[in-house]
Homo-oligomer: A and B are copies of this chain.
Amino acid sequence: MDILYQQGQKAKNASYKLARLSILEKTKGLLAVSEALWEKREFILQENQKDMMNAKQVGISKALLDRLLLTEKRIFVMTEGIKQVAQLEDPVGEIIKMKKRPNGLQIGQKRVPLGVIGMIYEARPNVTADAFALCFKAGNAVILKGGKEALFSNRAIVQIIQETLLKIGLPEDAVQLIQDTDRKTTLDFMKLHKYVDVLIPRGGSHLIKTVVENSTIPIIETGVGNCHIYVDEFANCDQGVDIVFNAKTQRPGVCNAIETLLVHESIAQPFLSKLIPKLKSYSVEIRGDQKVKILFPEVKEANETDWSEEYLDYTLAIKIVSSLEEAMSHIRCYSSGHSEAIITENYSHAQKFLEEIDAAAVYVNASTRFTDGYEFGFGAEIGISTQKLHARGPIGLKELTTTKYIIYGSGQIRM
């Protein structure tokens, strides 16, 4: 706990300095870091190899190994990402509104950095550089707790960033890494609300759950997505097939891919006759409810757990419903509040779905795969928030800030 407290204190001190940096200083810092990471890529690759060797020894899955791996190309993409963040509009200092009150007080609301951000994430070392760049650009210090599999890689990246900042006279504690990767340290980190203003967990549902249950720091939940598409009786069938196919197969391992398809019974036969062969050609496993089984007996039967599962894989649950209302109550029951879509040409159905479905992003006639900071035009993102407080949807630079009221007086006292 002692080292953690020291890191917290250092981050808080750095945050005061970071909040005062000019846009030019921040740009200079980001470009210098981007350059240094590229120059020292051999060192990063060499440290990453240590992680890879350890990971292979403990027999980690192939998918995880791929996430852990850094290559020269991946480091290039990482450094380009930092340069892009440097070019984004700086959110800090914007006066959102300012009004004069009857008593002459001039009250303004100003955008300011959050302060110290904590981030807990899993095995992707590129997140380390990303998270630093976004937090730094928004004027925040960040304390990172990466997965133990990536410790050597993360240490190398953070070391290069700190050295670079120090060299050009910027606060090196803008980024710090928690090097103790045991569970107790992680739990202690979640209680560091004295110094950490916001905690952002990025990872699977188990990580998110642990953070929700243990953190005393305000958190921004990210990422769990049990997303649905409802194909209405008034859908354009071909458009619907393309959208569902895209939302399931374009990248099934991410949170905005769909897991369950709901189809109106009056369109189910023709629609599924087009969709299912297309999905099968991509080896998508279909799990259908009883009505689907009647139409397509070869399909595997879905059970209750299929409706709540986030497969993140080439698997799709399908349920036939008899009305928009039934579709919406299924979604209300099982949705994780991430992204939900309706396919319809009916004006009232589209409006009703947009109005009544309670999720971070609600679509008409488009793929759920667009819920993403880049696709939304934010330029970058640090995750997708599925909670309602503070940030809902993609978390860009603006969501990494808060506001404060500034009040210009001329001697006013309260009567």
Contacts and interface: CB of A to CB of B under 8 A. Distances in A.
Nearest to A104: B366
Contacts of A112: 358
Interface string A330-372: 0010000000000000000000001110111111111101110
Given A16-B332, A115-B388, A404-B358, A409 B246 contact: no
A246 B103 CA distance: 15
A220 B389 contact: yes
Contact of A392 (B193, B246, B402): B402
B413 A403 contact: no
A33 to B, nearest CB: 25
B393 A404 contact: yes
A370 B218 contact: no
A361 B19 CA distance: 17
A332 B19 CA distance: 14
Contact of A388 (B197, B360, B406, B412): B197
Given A105-B370, A355-B20, A408 B364 contact: yes
Interface stretch (A160-168, A235-243, A280-288): A235-243
Nearest to A245: B413
A295 interface: no
B250 A413 contact: yes
A366 to B, nearest CB: 3
Q: Residue among A250, A354, A409 with the most chain B CB within 10 A?
A: A409
A411 interface: yes
The dominant DSSP class at the A interface is mixed
Interface string A265-286: 0000000000000000000000
Interface string A118-156: 000000000000000000000000000000000000000
A206 interface: no
A410 interface: yes
A116 to B, nearest CB: 10
A356 B413 contact: no
B16 A370 contact: no
Given A16-B356, A247-B413, A366-B411, 18 more contacts: A16-B358, A19-B356, A19-B358, A101-B376, A114-B389, A218-B219, A239-B411, A363-B407, A364-B408, A365-B412, A366-B410, A369-B414, A370-B407, A371-B405, A375-B414, A389-B390, A392-B402, A392-B403
